[in-house]
Structure 1
């Protein structure tokens, strides 16, 4: 992706992601559009120093540009920051941490938020494959 824009549509949690990609990605996104395939993505909202937000969406349209290709994707948040923290806590409890050790290890794991977000995104992807798309609900 060369550049993009993320817009909160303020309609029951829907977002619009616009991305400009190289012509080489055209076939991929046209296939996603034609097959109505869900795509999971990480986007940065508002500021480049923000943690990536994980979204699930479907390509709404594609459009050729002079130097690339524009894609519009209707999306919903797949997880929020608090979901990642809950995921970390659940993993700590499953690993047997309690008391002060739990607090200390939570702080350590929370510092590596990006890695935990990726793990949770993989887990969500598998859930969506098994149970269906959250966009259809």
Structure 2
């Protein structure tokens, strides 16, 4: 296992075919690459207690939650994870939220979406390739 400092955390909320970003201020956090056969990561976040209801509702529904996290340095690009909440702990004036999930590649998803759209528009062969290059 490898452990890294979690620098920032955003929740990506899907509303009306649009992803909205909710920044969650971290008091402290770690991210652990479990290096297991399922390629799972654990994100551990120490947060203000005011987020207890927000994350409890998500956990009760057993909903998947998409997160973006910056690891090690603020200058790093955020990594995107599809997670579930495995535990919420009450710690005096704070809460500790544990997420378990997999890293996902949003860029790959966007590329696939663009390509599918161009194919649906009727582009094929070299014309498809040229139009795709212009779109990406």
2:109 paired with 1:86: no
Corresponding pairs, count? 106
Query: Which protein is richer in helix relative to its size?
Result: 1
1:54 pairs, out of 65, 80, 91, with: 80
Gaps of 5+ in 2: 1-23
Q: Distance in 1 between matches of 2:77 and 2:117?
A: 21
Return the structure number with greater strand share. Answer: 2
Q: Name the CA distance, whole Å, in 2 between partners of 1:5 and 1:47.
A: 12
Aligned to 1:42: 68
2:31 aligned partner: 6
Contact 1:15 1:76 in 2 (8 A): yes
TM-score calculated relative to the size of structure 1 = 0.59
Structure 1: 5+ residue stretches without partners: 107-137
RMSD, matched Cα: 2.7
- Answer whether contact 2:68 2:80 (CA < 8 A) is retained: yes
